[in-house]
Amino acid sequence: MEKKSVETQENILIAARAIFAQKGLAGARMQEIADTAGINKALLHYYYKNKGKLFEQVFDEALKKLFRPMAVFMADDSELFQKIRNICKHYNEVLIDYPFIPNFVINEINSDPTRILKLLDFEGVLEGKKKTEFQINEAVKAGLIRSIDPRELILNVISMSIFPFAARPIIKELLYENEDLNKVLQARADQVADFIIQSIKL
């Protein structure tokens, strides 16, 4: 019967992820989370003391999902073009499964900038960054790619990988009105990588 307990807590998390992602910390209602989880408010507070704690757990999860591909990319020892393909694919896989995360994270960081601190201590991203910037600079020197600021390149990669998910409803209405956006986005990983490589290769 511990099983039931664990299952209930998982249902709460599932509900909380959906509600927080859609409405944010301020807009989410504990009652709605309880309803969505199929339980009542008392039980919700029985497992999660307060809204803030629940939010933090959900938010930290999301943060990790969003920054792990970045950390993996920075630490990746592959050759540059392969590395670019890897991060595009990696982001695409994660965001297909958790499409609400970019908007969620961006939004909540914006509404409470002190949360940026949580980014800073995120494992490995900043150390790997130097390595990757070095690698890009070397590729320029070696005449493998045209001259470009490493940070510009990285920014372009993540912009094209993440933005379509963050702005999903807008993109849908604007460009892919009559199509299954999921399929479009799924096919996009390779296209983005190609687009980038085409731009920088010599």
Window 44 to 63, contacts with DNA (CB under 7 A): 45-46, 49-52
**Least CB distance to DNA at residue 65 (A):** 24
Q: Which does 97 bind (CB under 5 to 8 A by kind): DNA, a second copy, none?
A: none
Q: Which does 2 bind (CB under 5 to 8 A by kind): DNA, a second copy, none?
A: DNA
Q: Which does 202 bind (CB under 5 to 8 A by kind): a second copy, DNA, none?
A: none
CA–CA separation, 128 and 76 (whole Å): 8
**Least CB distance to DNA at residue 189 (A):** 37
The two tokens of residue 43 are 């039980």
Smallest CA-to-CA distance from 19 within 40, 4, 37 is with: 37
Instruction: Give me the phi and psi of 201, to 5 degrees please.
Output: -70, 155
Residues that bind a second copy (CB under 8 A): 22-27, 70, 100, 103, 105-107, 109-111, 113, 116, 119-120, 125, 129, 146, 148-149, 151-152, 154-156, 158-160, 162-164, 166-171, 173-176, 188, 191-192, 195-196, 198-200
Looking at 14, 39, 75, 184, which residue binds DNA (CB under 7 A)?
39
Tell me if 91 sits within 8 A of 195, measured CB to CB: no
**Least CB distance to DNA at residue 41 (A):** 6
Does residue 89 interact with DNA by CB under 7 A?
Answer: no
**Least CB distance to a second copy at residue 65 (A):** 14
The CA dihedral of 96, 101, 107, 110, to the nearest 10 degrees, is -120
The two tokens of residue 5 are 């307990």
CA–CA separation, 4 and 81 (whole Å): 48
3-state SS assignment for residue 145: strand
Smallest CA-to-CA distance from 154 within 83, 77, 96 is with: 83
Smallest CA-to-CA distance from 150 within 162, 135, 168, 166 is with: 135
Window 18 to 37, contacts with DNA (CB under 7 A): 28-31
The residue among 7 and 190 lying less far from a second copy, judged by its C-beta, is 190
Residues that bind DNA (CB under 7 A): 1-5, 7-8, 28-31, 38-43, 45-46, 49-52
